[in-house]
Amino acid sequence: MAKKTSQKPAKVAKKSDPAPHKAAAKPKPGKSAKPKLLSGGNPQIAKGYGDGPVQDFIAAMPGWKQDVGRRLDELIERAVPNVHKAVKWNTPFYGIEGDGWFLGFHCISKYVKVAFFRGKSLRPVPPVESKQNEVRYFHIHEGDAIDEAQFTDWVKQASRLPGERM
């Protein structure tokens, strides 16, 4: 008696089949395709609200930046326990419900750029200026130690200021 095998017969190309190099690869059901990295290594993540899209963004951050993103997210959640999250324009945003966004971050080629949308009102003012009057940045490069106490203080201050509507 012959054993049954679970192998499927090889597909024979038909004239109507697209050429293999032109066929679009589709993700398998239940599995999402790995996000594309934009210039500078910033992940391209679909717009979405809540923790899920932010965690997807962090999981797609390349190399050492992923650990930075994970730590920033933890510090922000600890500083502002009911923080609201979203991903818009391939950037995670953090805010207060009904009061707008106070912070966002994204990947640049050589660093992670944290944007405090009312950063000019923080004390001390975050170190990097912006072309936008109120915005200040904090850059984290590979190997930098994050001053977690200072960062947490900035997050708490920023969360008490009026947020940006985006």
Please name the amino acid found at residue 113: K
What are the pLDDT digits (tens) for 61-80? Answer: 999 999 999 999 999 999 99
Query: What is the C-alpha radius of gyration for the chain, rounded to an integer number of angstroms?
Result: 22
Mean pLDDT (whole number) for 44-50? 93
Residue range 38-160, CATH number = 3.90.1150.200
The per-residue pLDDT for 166 is: 67
Instruction: Parse the chain into domains and list their residue ranges.
Output: 38-160
165 vs 106 pLDDT, higher one: 106
Q: What's the rounded mean pLDDT across residues 136-161?
A: 97
- pTM (2 decimals)? 0.77
